[in-house]
C-alpha cells in the first residue's frame, strides 16, 4: 500500500471512529455557545474536548489544539483526571492527523497512564489502537501488531463487540501492508461477521445511532477487502466491494464514506489505465469533500488527480502535449500542497513536495535548452530535500528510502556521480534495515547504471545481479500473491456463498416475521375500524336520543305550562262562581227562615 495512501487511510479510520466530518459546523457553533455560557466545571471541560474533536475533523488543527489545551488546563485546575486524559488523547489525535507522529505518541502514552489509574479500559484500548495506527503508518508493523493485540485483549475481556471488530480490521491492515493477504482477509471477514451479527441478531434492540454506526462499519470492512484486491490487481473484485460499500454509505447519507469509496474507485480505474473514468471518480470525491469541508480529503483528491495527469503525460508523444499534462499535474499538486501546509499535515506536505520534485524532473527531461533543463532539475532537488527533511523528522523510513533514490536519480542526470552513489547506498542501507524490497531492487538497478557510466563494469555487473535477484524475488512474491489470490478467491466466494445462504435464511425469517406483523397489523387495523364504526353508531344513537329527549322535555314543559294556564283559568272561574254565590246568598232569604215563618202563620 502506498505510504501516503496509507496515511490518508489512517485519517479515514480516525474520522470513521469519530463519526465522520460532515454536518460539524452547526455542532461547533452550538458547542462554542455552551463554552461561553458555562462556568468552569466538568461540563465545560467535556464541551471543550468535544469542540476540539469536531474542529479536528474539519481540518482546523490549530483551533482544535487551542481548545484541547484549554480543556486540559481547566481539568488540571479542578483536578479532573478523566478530563486531562481526554484532552491528551484529543491533542494526540490532532498531531497524528497532522502527521506529527512523535508528539502524538508522547501524548497517547501520557493519556494511557492516567486512564489505567482510573480503570478506564475502553479509553486505554482506544489509545492503544491509535498508537498502532501510527506505528503502522511508519512501517513499524511489529509494534503496530503488539498494540493492536493489546487493545484486542482488553476489548475481549470487556466483551466490547464493536471494539473487537475494529481491532480485527486494524490487524488486517497491518497484515495487508506486509502482503500477508490471506491473514488480512481472515481478519477483515472476522470483523465483517461481527458487525453483521450485531446488526442482524434477532431480538436485539439497537438505537438508530448504533444501527447507523454498525452499518458504517460494515461499509468500512467492505472497503478493507477492496484494498486487498487493489494490491493484488484483482480490480473487478475491488470495484465490487467499493460499490457494495457505496450503496450502504448512500443509504446512510454518509458523505465522508461515499467520498472515500469514489476515491477508491478512481484508484482502481487508474491502475487499469482508464484515466478518464479515474478522473470522473476523483472529481466526484473532490466535490463531496469540498462540500463537507474535508480539507484532508480535498488535499488527497488534488494529489490523486495530479498523479493521473502525470501518467497521461507519459502516454503523450508530442512534447507540447506532454508539457500541457505536466502543467496540469503541477497545478493540482500545488493545490494539494497549499492545503496540507494550511493544515500543518507533515506527511501530506512531504508527499506533495516529493510529487512536485517528480514533475519538475519530468519537465527537465523533456526540455531542450540546457539552462531550462538545469533549472527544472534544481527545483526538483529543492522539493526532494524539503520532503526528505520532513520524512526524517516523522520517522518515515520507507519515504526516506524512496526520496534518497529520487535525489540520486537527478544527481546522476546532472553527472554528480559521487553524490548520486552516496544517496543510493544510503537508500540501500535503510531499505535492507526495514525489508523494503522494492526500494532495494531500485537501488541496485540505479547503482548498476551508475557504475556502468563510470566504467566500473565489474561493480555494475555485481549490482545488476543483485537487482535481478530482488526482481525475481518480487516476481516470485507476485506469483505467490496470484496463487494466494486464487485461494482467497475460492475462500471468498465460499464465504460469500455461505453469507448469502445465511442471509437468505435470515431474509426468509424476516419475511415470515413481516407477514406475521402484517397479519397482526391488519387484524388490529380491522378491529380498530370496527371499534371506530361502533363508536360512530353509538355516538349517532346518543345524539338522536339526546335530540328526542330534548323534544320530549320541551313538549312536557309546554303541556305543563298549558296545564298551569288551564288550572289558573279554572281557579279564576271557580272563584267567580263562589263569589256570585255569596252575593246571591246574601240577597235571598234562607229556606229555614221562610219555613219558620210559615209555621207561625199556620198556628195563628
pLDDT given at position 18: 46
pLDDT given at position 38: 77
Contact 99, 7 (CB under 8 A): yes
DSSP-derived secondary structure for 97-162: HHT-HHHHHHHHHHHHHHHHHHT-HHHHHHHHHHHHHHHHHHT-HHHHHHHHHHHHHHHHHTT-HH
Question: At residue 402, does pLDDT exceed 90?
Answer: yes
CA–chain centroid gap for 76, Å, is 32
Give the separation between CA 283 and CA 267, rounded to whole angstroms.
12
Higher pLDDT, 227 or 338: 338
pLDDT given at position 597: 59
Give the separation between CA 117 and CA 105, rounded to whole angstroms.
19
Q: Which of 67, 65, 40 is nearest to 51 (CA)?
A: 67
pLDDT, tens only, 431-445: 999 888 889 999 999
Report, in angstroms and rounded to the nearest whole number, the Rg of the chain calculated over CA atoms.
44
pLDDT given at position 334: 97
pLDDT, tens only, 503-551: 566 666 656 666 776 777 777 777 778 777 877 877 777 777 777 667 7
DSSP 346: H
pLDDT given at position 22: 42
Worst-scoring range by mean pLDDT, 4-13, 368-377, 587-596? 4-13
pLDDT given at position 19: 46
Over range 405-416, report the average pLDDT: 95
pLDDT given at position 5: 46
Question: At residue 587, does pLDDT exceed 60?
Answer: no
405-to-12, 350, 377, 428, 443 alpha-carbon distances in Å: 29, 15, 15, 9, 7
Contact 405, 449 (CB under 8 A): no
Of the pLDDT bands very low, low, confident and very high (cuts 50, 70, 90), residue 331 is: very high
Question: At residue 7, does pLDDT exceed 50?
Answer: no
pLDDT given at position 411: 96
Worst-scoring range by mean pLDDT, 1-10, 243-252, 440-449, 501-510? 1-10
Over range 103-114, report the average pLDDT: 94
Question: At residue 94, does pLDDT exceed 80?
Answer: yes
pLDDT, tens only, 257-278: 999 999 999 999 999 999 999 9
pLDDT, tens only, 18-71: 444 444 556 777 777 776 777 778 888 888 888 888 888 777 888 889 989 988
Contact 221, 188 (CB under 8 A): yes
Worst-scoring range by mean pLDDT, 56-65, 354-363, 448-457? 56-65
pLDDT given at position 296: 86
Worst-scoring range by mean pLDDT, 130-144, 345-359, 437-451? 130-144
pLDDT given at position 44: 86
Over range 292-317, report the average pLDDT: 93
pLDDT given at position 34: 74
Of the pLDDT bands very low, low, confident and very high (cuts 50, 70, 90), residue 166 is: very high
pTM (2 decimals)? 0.68
Mean pLDDT of the chain, nearest integer: 84
pLDDT given at position 486: 54
Amino acid at each position: 500500500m502506498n505510504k501516503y495512501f496509507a496515511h490518508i487511510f489512517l485519517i479515514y479510520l480516525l474520522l470513521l471512529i469519530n463519526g465522520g466530518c460532515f454536518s460539524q459546523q452547526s455542532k461547533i457553533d452550538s458547542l462554542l455557545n455552551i463554552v461561553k455560557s458555562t462556568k468552569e466545571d466538568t461540563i465545560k471541560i467535556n464541551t471543550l474536548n468535544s469542540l476540539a474533536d469536531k474542529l479536528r475533523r474539519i481540518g482546523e488543527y490549530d483551533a482544535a489544539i487551542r481548545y484541547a489545551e484549554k480543556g486540559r488546563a481547566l481539568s488540571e485546575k479542578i483536578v479532573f483526571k478523566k478530563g486531562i486524559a481526554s484532552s491528551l488523547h484529543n491533542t494526540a489525535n490532532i498531531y497524528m492527523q497532522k502527521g506529527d507522529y512523535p508528539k502524538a505518541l508522547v501524548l497517547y502514552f501520557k493519556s494511557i497512564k492516567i486512564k489505567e489509574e482510573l480503570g478506564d479500559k475502553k479509553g486505554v484500548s482506544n489509545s492503544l489502537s491509535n498508537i498502532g495506527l501510527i506505528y503502522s503508518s511508519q512501517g513499524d508493523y511489529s509494534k503496530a501488531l503488539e498494540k493492536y493485540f493489546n487493545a484486542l485483549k482488553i476489548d475481549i475481556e470487556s466483551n466490547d463487540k464493536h471494539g473487537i471488530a475494529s481491532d480485527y480490521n486494524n490487524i488486517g491492515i497491518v497484515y495487508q501492508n506486509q502482503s500477508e493477504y490471506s491473514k488480512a482477509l481472515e481478519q477483515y471477514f472476522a470483523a465483517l461477521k461481527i458487525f453483521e451479527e450485531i446488526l442482524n441478531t434477532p431480538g436485539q434492540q439497537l438505537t438508530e445511532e448504533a444501527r447507523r454506526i454498525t452499518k458504517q462499519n460494515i461499509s468500512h470492512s467492505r472497503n478493507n477487502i477492496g484494498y486487498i484486491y487493489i494490491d493484488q490487481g484483482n480490480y473487478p473484485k475491488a470495484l465490487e466491494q467499493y460499490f457494495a460499500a457505496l450503496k450502504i454509505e448512500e443509504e446512510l447519507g454518509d458523505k465522508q464514506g461515499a467520498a472515500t469509496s469514489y476515491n477508491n474507485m478512481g484508484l482502481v480505474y487508474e491502475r487499469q489505465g482508464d484515466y478518464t473514468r479515474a478522473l470522473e471518480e476523483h472529481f466526484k470525491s473532490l466535490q463531496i469533500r469540498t462540500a463537507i469541508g474535508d480539507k484532508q480529503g480535498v488535499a488527497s483528491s488534488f494529489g490523486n488527480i495530479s498523479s493521473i495527469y502525470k501518467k497521461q503525460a507519459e502516454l503523450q508523444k508530442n512534447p507540447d502535449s506532454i508539457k500541457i499534462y505536466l502543467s496540469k499535474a503541477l497545478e493540482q499538486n500545488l493545490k494539494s500542497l497549499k492545503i496540507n501546509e494550511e493544515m500543518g499535515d507533515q506527511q501530506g506536505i512531504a508527499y506533495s513536495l516529493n510529487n512536485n520534485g517528480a514533475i519538475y524532473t519530468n519537465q527537465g527531461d523533456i526540455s531542450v535548452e540546457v539552462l531550462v533543463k538545469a533549472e527544472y532539475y534544481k527545483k526538483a532537488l529543492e522539493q526532494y530535500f524539503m520532503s526528505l527533511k520532513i520524512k526524517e523528522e516523522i520517522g518515515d523510513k520507507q519515504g526516506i528510502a524512496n526520496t534518497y533514490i529520487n535525489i540520486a536519480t537527478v544527481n546522476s542526470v546532472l553527472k554528480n556521480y559521487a553524490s548520486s552513489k552516496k544517496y543510493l547506498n544510503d537508500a540501500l542501507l535503510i531499505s535492507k534495515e526495514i525489508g523494503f524490497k522494492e526500494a532495494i531492487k531500485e537501488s541496485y538497478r540505479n547503482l548498476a547504471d551508475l557504475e556502468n557510466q563510470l566504467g566500473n563494469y565489474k561493480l555494475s555487473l555485481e549490482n545488476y545481479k543483485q537487482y535481478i535477484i530482488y526482481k525475481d524475488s518480487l516476481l516470485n512474491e507476485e506469483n505467490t500473491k496470484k496463487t494466494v489470490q486464487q485461494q482467497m478467491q475460492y475462500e471468498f466466494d465460499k464465504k460469500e456463498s455461505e453469507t448469502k445462504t445465511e442471509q437468505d435464511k435470515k431474509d426468509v425469517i424476516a419475511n415470515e416475521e413481516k407477514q406475521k406483523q402484517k397479519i397482526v397489523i391488519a387484524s388490529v387495523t380491522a378491529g380498530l375500524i370496527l371499534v371506530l364504526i361502533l363508536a360512530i353508531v353509538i355516538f349517532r344513537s346518543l345524539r338522536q336520543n339526546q335530540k328526542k329527549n330534548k323534544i320530549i322535555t320541551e313538549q312536557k314543559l309546554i303541556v305543563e305550562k298549558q296545564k298551569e294556564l288551564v288550572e289558573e283559568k279554572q281557579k279564576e272561574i271557580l272563584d267567580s262562581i263562589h263569589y256570585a254565590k255569596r252575593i246571591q246568598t246574601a240577597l235571598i232569604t234562607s229556606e229555614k227562615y221562610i219555613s219558620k215563618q210559615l209555621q207561625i202563620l199556620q198556628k195563628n
